[in-house]
Chains A and B, each alone.
Chain A
Amino acid sequence: METRSSSYLGGEYGLRSWFLTVDHKRIGIMYLLGVSFFFLLGGLFAVLVRLELLTPPGDLFQSETYNKLFTLHGIFMVFFFLLPSIPAVLGNFLLPLMIGAKDLAFPKINLLSWYIFMVGGLFTLYAMLAGGVDTGWTFYTPYSSTYANSHVIMAALGIFISGFSSILTGVNFIATIHKLRAPGLTWFRLPLFVWAHYATSLIMVLGTPVVAITILLVAVERLFHVGIFDPALGGDPVLFQHLFWFYSHPAVYIMILPAMGVMSEVIACFSRKRVFGYGFVAFSSLTIAVLGFLVWGHHMFVSGQSVYAGIVFSLLSFLVAIPSAVKVFNWTATLYRGSISFETPMMYALGFIGLFTIGGLTGIMLATLAVDVHVHDTYFVVAHFHFVMVGGVVMAYLGGLHFWWPKMFGRMYPELLARVASIIIFVGFNMTFLPQFVLGYLGMPRRYHVYPDEFQVLNVLSTAGASILGLGFLMTAAYLPWSLKYGKKAGANPFDAVGLEWDTPSPPPAHNFDTPPVVTHEAYERKEEELVHV
């Protein structure tokens, strides 16, 4: 009873104690509730999209409705689920614990960023309820300006606002990692999760303001018809695409880098080994963050960008494969001769390696100028980024959520059920998106709700896969809350993992550590290391 009352979950119980909390752990839980809601919403739109695509004619929805469905699916999933999921939920909860701090550097700003995020979400929700948006999640002009006929401003404003949440989180993480590390915790003793979040924060701070000003310019153009992006008035719609992708490509790395951080932790734990090539994995995060800012033009190979620019962007995009491959190879090398066990987090981590590799390699195909001209705006692209976003980020998010679930709530999730769900999700995911590679290669364009009869078999396969995937998600959404009450009680370190967060009770006390930790060992170093030689 005593440990319970001193944990961050105990003490105060009222709603007020949550809505006014400055405890990073409680704020992490509040983000968890927020992003889960938006994931559900985004998933709902995905269901409607896949239902429409079950048959070749447009029998469920009209074109306008369909446009709104895939737009809202994209907006909610990208801006309100994928971007905040790992950094704002797991990062918020774990960063101070991993570096032995009592909280983030700016706890009140952390709470503020949650409110900003939710207000942004409410604006976009309003846009949805008022009639929706049909521009696609990219808000390309002139769809979003001259020819807009839906609630573009409200939706864009929501994204503009939630962007500031991302910026403040980035600023908070940077200051925290620099200034609040425990005594003895040098930069090269940091868990790779922390390195990944440091790189992520850099992108949040450097990239997000650019999309903010871009959205502001679209709003000004739309409200006052001043022609900033309207060619009839001297503006340039391609400039919008440059500005948008200058942020939105690095944003992909805001999503995948924290996922890679989760991967390093999980793989080190369930291989019972230190991560192979620690320094390379740490610096590959920074390399990805830097290179990520130099490749945005690969989204615009067919947008009227100069061919020479296209060639340079193509080449630079290939370079991103190097640090990404460094990570994949180093994880594989970590597995080599490790003492591997297959708990649920590890199932997701192994799934990630395979799926992310497919997502990454098809990315190389798309970065190839000539190939991209052929498959641009087809389902090949859709399949590629879903492999990275779902096969990568969502897999890592779920893996991380299971891995640290006992730490967050002091209860174990049901292992067998969770393992079954992870297999269902893996199978469902592949069945949904592998056919889309073929569809795209055969020439089915994205964003249409009517298609020729010969594409039906593959589309039925994809929709069937989506329902399996959905079943896996629903199982997870059922047993995780169930485990809060009925799960087995978890000790401080149920997985025998290494890291400061495992040295404190589960759930941690309000101030994280009863005695301030002092670090004397390298990252992932096990005391019994000499015993592990298979």
Chain B
Amino acid sequence: MSSSAETTSLHATGELAHHFETIDQQNQSAALGMWAFLVQEVMFFGGLFTVYLVYRTLHPGAFAEGSHHLPVDVGTFNTAVLIGSSLTMALAVRCAQLGEGKKAALLIYATMALALVFMGVKGVEYSHKWHDSLVPGLKWHPEAGADAHLNLFFALYFVMTGCHALHMLIGLVLMVFVARKAWRGGYTRANFLGVECLGLYWHFVDLVWIFLFPLLYLLHAPGGGH
């Protein structure tokens, strides 16, 4: 209550939105909103994983064969890159927490660079699938003797990794704005929620890949594992 003058000045600078009483309330609301949003993201990808699970159970042979077409080494490299990007993002959040805006911005740029590496590699993988005629609907001529339902595996492969890539793209766009604001000192020790929410989002995108990678690349045998 004693801080009503301080509250008024925060309202005046726009740092505190008019409908909040304290910075703390504003931060907690933003964090809660972000977590609720991530819950809906879990359900979105959850739907996809369910479809994967059902078709994997119905057509184990096709899914085992499909995963053999995916290069495990490339996937492993990309997984490492993405986990690395989560590290730089986590460090960026830490820097923002400490009020080191410029450092935070640089770390976000590093995260962007790693994300671009991931997407570049993914693009090369996609082009190989195109070259091998393994793109259902557009260019689909699997080798003779391929499983009749191989198309389902690849349709899901493209939808799942495509949705993931789309989320990365959205993350990249957000990073441009947050990094610029961080560089200009737009975040303070008390108010760094923009970076924190971006971090939460990015870790979620990372986490989705942690599930996609084994499901698509590693589970070769119908029952799972070798």
A209 to B44, CA, bound (A): 5
Is A236 a contact partner of B58 (Cβ separation < 8 A)? yes
A227 to B159, CA, bound (A): 13
Is B86 at the interface (CB under 8 A from chain A)? no
Q: Which residues of B contact A (CB under 8 A)?
A: 17-20, 25, 28-30, 32-33, 36-37, 39-41, 43-48, 50-51, 54-55, 58-59, 62, 136-138, 148-149, 151-152, 155-156, 159, 163
Is B36 a contact partner of A227 (Cβ separation < 8 A)? no
Is A233 a contact partner of B152 (Cβ separation < 8 A)? yes
Is B43 a contact partner of A175 (Cβ separation < 8 A)? no
Is A358 at the interface (CB under 8 A from chain B)? no
**Contact residues of A between 198 and 251, Cβ < 8 Å to B:** 205-210, 212-214, 216-217, 220, 223-228, 233-236, 239, 243, 246
Is B43 a contact partner of A228 (Cβ separation < 8 A)? no
Is A209 a contact partner of B159 (Cβ separation < 8 A)? no
Is A495 at the interface (CB under 8 A from chain B)? no
Is A243 a contact partner of B47 (Cβ separation < 8 A)? yes
A209 proximity list for chain B (CB < 8 A): 40-41, 43-44, 46-47
B32 proximity list for chain A (CB < 8 A): 174-175, 178-179
Contact A102 to B51, CB < 8 A, known contacts A206-B43, A217-B159, A226-B151: no
A195 to B220, CA, bound (A): 48
Is A480 at the interface (CB under 8 A from chain B)? no
Q: Which residues of A contact B (CB under 8 A)?
A: 96, 101-107, 109, 167, 170-172, 174-176, 178-180, 205-210, 212-214, 216-217, 220, 223-228, 233-236, 239, 243, 246, 511
**Minimum C-beta distance from A512 to chain B (A):** 9
Nearest 3 A-B pairs (CB), nearest first?
A224-B137, A234-B149, A209-B44
Is B19 a contact partner of A234 (Cβ separation < 8 A)? no
Q: What residue of chain B has the Cβ atom nearest to residue A166's Cβ?
A: B40
Is A171 a contact partner of B137 (Cβ separation < 8 A)? no
B43 proximity list for chain A (CB < 8 A): 205-207, 209-210
Contact A243 to B62, CB < 8 A, known contacts A167-B40, A209-B43, A227-B155: no
Contact A234 to B151, CB < 8 A, known contacts A106-B33, A179-B29, A243-B51: yes
A109 proximity list for chain B (CB < 8 A): 33
A172 to B51, CA, bound (A): 29
A170 proximity list for chain B (CB < 8 A): 36, 40
Mind listing 22 A-B residue pairs with CB under 8 Å? A96-B19, A107-B19, A171-B40, A175-B33, A175-B36, A179-B29, A206-B40, A207-B43, A210-B43, A210-B47, A217-B51, A224-B137, A226-B136, A226-B151, A226-B152, A227-B136, A227-B152, A227-B155, A228-B155, A228-B159, A233-B152, A239-B51
Contact A213 to B48, CB < 8 A, known contacts A105-B33, A172-B33, A236-B58: yes
B18 proximity list for chain A (CB < 8 A): 102-103, 511
B17 proximity list for chain A (CB < 8 A): 107
A172 proximity list for chain B (CB < 8 A): 33
A239 to B47, CA, bound (A): 11
Contact A208 to B40, CB < 8 A, known contacts A102-B19, A228-B152: yes
A280 to B136, CA, bound (A): 53
A228 to B44, CA, bound (A): 17
B159 proximity list for chain A (CB < 8 A): 216-217, 220, 228
**Minimum C-beta distance from A144 to chain B (A):** 16
In this complex, the member of A101, A171, A226 whose beta carbon has the largest number of chain B beta carbons within 10 angstroms is: A226
Contact A171 to B46, CB < 8 A, known contacts A234-B55, A239-B51: no
A533 to B46, CA, bound (A): 54
Q: What residue of chain B has the Cβ atom nearest to residue A224's Cβ?
A: B137
Cβ 8 A contact of B136, one of A96, A167, A216, A224: A224
Q: What residue of chain B has the Cβ atom nearest to residue A225's Cβ?
A: B137
In this complex, the member of B30, B32, B62, B163 whose beta carbon has the largest number of chain A beta carbons within 10 angstroms is: B32
**Minimum C-beta distance from B10 to chain A (A):** 15
Is A179 a contact partner of B25 (Cβ separation < 8 A)? yes
